[in-house]
Amino acid sequence: MQKYSHLFSPIKIGETTVKNRIFMPPISTNLADKGYVTDTLVEHYAARAKGGVGLIVTEVTTVEPVYTYLPGDMSICDDSYIPGWKKLTDAVHKYGAKILPQLFHPAYMAFPIPGTPRLIAPSNVGPAYAKEAPRPVTIPELKVIIKQFGEAALRIKKAGGDGVEIHAAHAHGLLGGFLSPLYNKRTDEYGGDINGRLKLTLEVIEEVRKICGKDFIIDVRISGDEYCDGGLNLNDGIYIAKQLEKAGADMIHVSGGTTIMRGSSIPAPGTKQGSHAKLAEEIKKHTSIPIATVGRITEPWIADELIANGKADICMIGRANLCDPEFANKAEKGMDKDIRPCIGCLRCLNGIMFGKRVACTINPSLEIDNEDTIKQSNTKKRILVIGGGPAGMEAAYVAKKRGHDVVLCDKNEELGGLMKLASVPIAKQDLAKVTQYMVRKLEEAGVEIRLNCEVNKNMLQNEFADYEVVMSNGASPVVIQPFTTFKHWATADDILGGKAFPGRRIVVIGGGSVGCETADYLAPLVYDRLPRDRKVTVIEMAPEVMSTESGPGRSLLVQRMMKKGIELICNAKVEKVEENKIYYSINGETHCISDADTLIFAVGYRPDKALADTLNELKITYHTIGDANSVGTIQDAIHAGYDLAKEL
């Protein structure tokens, strides 16, 4: 009996049968060229189709030429785009998958490219980050836009597409904005009550169906609940879904939240899987067409459970299919442990607004040329990798896949490096799965792993004399020596690694990710001023904590710290530390903390140069990667290991 029989049963969407219930939702890639499909974009989606996905909904595809959503997004606004789309649909159909573009008008959330006219919106209400209020779109303009949606859908049909998804979710773009009371303040026929706000979306569905016929899938994405005061709620979502079905929609893709309320539409790492499933479950009770759920569905078991338990008919699995294009095939074969784990970090979308292409922390190559297809080296080498953190593990694995003899040495009793410590704080537990996955890959590939093995000068001169060396021995936490006069101090790494234990009055120097995660980890789960609870203070020099981070993960972490009563002191510099006192200054005024019993350093990391000095002395060829080269993120480390090893 198949392990995930519910997930891998076929489903009929309108007149079309899809082979399984794993669908890929829209995720921006920035791989298009001025809206046109590129070969890289074809490879990207073909890899997921080959990996077993039943149906792909592409990223945002604009229906008219004036407004751009993102610089590298797709378009279908005239016939010149059809040939590229034909190439894409053919590539996806080759593997038995179906494909729909997500048709979209960005409206008040368009990218402000120079020369773009004033942005349009349901009303003169725009997002908080806008530089000017948008203008209300006129009814004659709406009639043109409705026709543009229909014409765009027809071009997709001509290109061999199986249908379209109409984006009306997240109070986002024109249709989502018209649906939401947050943005629609109109008093004409397209505003007022829910029927007025829904009118535009229903007319778009009507136009697409009239032009494209009944054998063309119409999927509509909505927020079943916008999770905020003044926005759509679940009652609205149920009613909207019923009207969409009556209007001829074949399927409803139920999301939640809004794009401007961080963490509501795209859930943060460490939060529950199936984040919007309750919305889909309720809407499913009141409709008869297939209902899809979405939101942090990263493992096959939860997807199968959601379907088996009647929460939804379909699971939209996005980030996990980015992380591992073979997610569906591996799940179908019951190879759960071989699925590259998605940690939900959202670094895949970090640079999208700035024109950077989609990326993944755990998967260094998202396209067809990847770890599994990497070419053998023409010259077989003996490779010594020193340090078993993420950079070293990735380099050792890829080097072995290329046919080299590889020895990986680590001075610790387990592999993982700082990634093991990074999995300790709240909401970071998925990193433990990454370490587990990478160790398993190394063992299966046959890499020789030596633990509790600190490589020294003698070993380099003798046993490893003819080896090419990859130095990935990481970095050590910075300790401000004059401040070690305090009675009890430790680094954040000491605390997270269980090497030190704090008292009840804790001061953390450094409000970056490590400092904030450590403070969150140490603070009481409930802030109720219980006398024996810990009191945690974070002192940060920058104007705000975690100033280099963005996204829902940062947002939820800061919200937790505030709810737990953690004191966040910014624009502050620790000037002096005595045995029992910590002095800091803000705007030239000095303050003293006299009741602290523990001082924690979270002020960055510094590579250890001793090994490099030894290698230089011995004139041994070596490469430096990961934190040993430049302190960065786990993504930086894994990508550096991959990039180096594929060239060895």
pLDDT at 298: 96
The answer as to whether 1 is a domain residue is no
CATH of the domain at 505: 3.50.50.60
- The yes-or-no verdict on residue 142 having pLDDT over 70 is yes
By DSSP bridging, strand 582-586 and strand 573-577 are antiparallel
Kindly list the distances between the CA atom of residue 452 and the CA atoms of 161, 369, 409, 443, 449, in Å, as whole numbers in the listed order.
56, 35, 8, 17, 10
Question: What is the full DSSP assignment across 259-290?
Answer: SSSTTTSSPPTTSPSSTTHHHHHHHHTT--S-
Q: What is the pLDDT of residue 608?
A: 86
pLDDT of residue 194: 98
Q: Quick one: pLDDT band at residue 551, thresholds 50, 70, 90? A: confident
Please tell me whether residues 152 and 228 are part of one structural domain.
Answer: yes
- The answer to whether residue 180 scores a pLDDT higher than 90 is yes
Res 70 pLDDT > 90: no
Provide the pLDDT confidence category of residue 111 given band limits of 50, 70 and 90. confident
Give the residue-averaged pLDDT of 452-470: 95
First to last CA, the chain: 44
Q: How many CB atoms lie within 10 A of CB 138?
A: 11
Phi/psi of residue 484, each to 5°?
A: -80, 5
Residue 362 lies in a domain: no
For 451, the domain range is 382-474+608-646
- Give the CATH number of the domain where residue 23 resides: 3.20.20.70
DSSP string, 588-616: TEEEEE-S--EEEE-S-EEE--HHHHHHH
Half-sphere exposure of 451 (CA within 13 A, CB side): 8
What is the reported pLDDT for 368? 60
Q: What is the DSSP secondary structure assignment for residue 121, as one 8-state letter?
A: E
Residue 549 is predicted with a pLDDT of: 87
Asked if residue 67 is part of any domain, the answer here is: yes
Alpha helices (H) along 407-461: 418-422, 430-445, 457-461
- Write out pLDDT tens, residues 491-540: 999 999 999 999 999 999 999 999 999 999 999 999 999 999 999 999 99
Read off the pLDDT of residues 222-266 as tens digits, 9 standing for 90 and up: 999 999 999 999 999 999 999 999 999 999 999 999 988 887 888
Q: What is the pLDDT of residue 356?
A: 85
pLDDT per residue as tens digits for the range 275-306 = 999 999 999 999 999 999 999 999 999 999 99
The Cα–Cα gap between 181 and 628 comes to 52
Q: In what order do the strands lie in the sheet with 622-624?
A: 448-450, 405-409, 382-386, 468-471, 622-624
- Same domain, residue pair 511 and 426: no
DSSP-derived letter for residue 36 is B
Asked if residue 533 and residue 404 are part of one domain, the reply reads: no
Alpha-helical regions (H) of 318-426: 319-323, 327-332, 390-401, 418-422
Domain for residue 6, yes or no?
Answer: no
The per-residue pLDDT for range 414-452, each reduced to its tens digit, is 999 999 999 999 999 999 999 999 999 999 999 999 999
What's the pLDDT score for residue 327? 97
**Cβ atoms 314, 291 nearer than 8 A:** yes
pLDDT at 127: 85
- Is residue 436 domain-shared with residue 322, that is, in the same domain? no
Q: Looking up tokens 């008869």, which residue turns up?
A: 288
**Residue 613 C-beta-side C-alpha neighbours within 13 Å:** 4
- Looking at the predicted structure, is the pLDDT value of residue 354 above 80? no
Q: 60 is written with which tokens?
A: 């945002």
Q: Of 209, 346, 342, give the one whose Cα is nearest residue 268.
A: 346
333 plus 400 within the same structural domain: no
Residues 483 and 449 in one domain: no
| pLDDT at site 369 | 63
Q: What is the pLDDT of residue 276?
A: 96
pLDDT of residue 1: 62
pLDDT in tens, 84-101: 999 999 999 999 999 999
**Average predicted confidence (pLDDT) for the chain:** 95
Looking at residue 520, what is its pLDDT?
A: 98
Answer whether 263's CB lies under 8 Å from 555's CB: yes
As a dihedral over the C-alpha atoms of residue 53, residue 54, residue 59, residue 63, rounded to 10 degrees, the angle is: 160
Predicted local distance difference test score (pLDDT) of residue 114: 87
**Which of 337, 354, 371 delimits the end of a domain?**
354
- What pairing do the DSSP bridges indicate for beta strands 74-75 and 55-62? parallel
For residue 359, being part of any structural domain is answered with: no
User: 298-331 pLDDT, tens per residue?
Assistant: 999 999 999 999 999 999 999 999 999 999 999 9
Are residues 595 and 622 both part of a single domain?
no
DSSP one-letter code for 133: P
Residues 107 and 208 in one domain: yes
pLDDT of residue 255: 96
- Count up the domains in the chain and report the number: 3
Determine the average pLDDT of the residues in 50-60: 97
Task: Write the single-letter amino acid at 232.
Answer: L
How far apart, in Å, are the Cα atoms of 57 and each of 89, 127, 362?
11, 26, 23
Whether 213 and 319 map to the same domain: the answer is yes
Can you give the pLDDT at residue 204? Answer: 98
Flag whether 369 is in a domain.
Answer: no
Between CA 205 and CA 103 the distance in angstroms is: 11
The CA-atom distances, in angstroms, between 67 and each of 112, 113, 160, 579, 637 are: 8, 9, 26, 61, 37
Measured between alpha carbons, how far is 206 from 244 in angstroms, rounded to an integer? 10
Q: Is the pLDDT of residue 382 over 70?
A: yes
Given a cut of 80, whether residue 370 has pLDDT beyond it is no
184-193 mean pLDDT? 97
pTM: 0.94
Q: Give the pLDDT score at 546.
A: 95
What is the pLDDT at residue 353? Answer: 74
The domain that contains 449 carries what CATH number? 3.40.50.720
54 part of a folded domain: yes
- What the block records as the tokens of 501 is 């234990």
Shared domain check, 259 and 168: yes
> Which residues are CB-contacts of 342 (< 8 A; sequence separation ≥ 6)?
298, 319, 320, 322, 323, 324, 362, 430
182 and 37 share one domain:
yes
Whether residue 61 is contained in a domain is answered as: yes
Structure token digits, residue 437: 């996955």
Same domain, 54 and 165: yes
**What are the Cα distances from residue 235, in Å, to 27, 56, 226, 244?**
28, 29, 11, 14
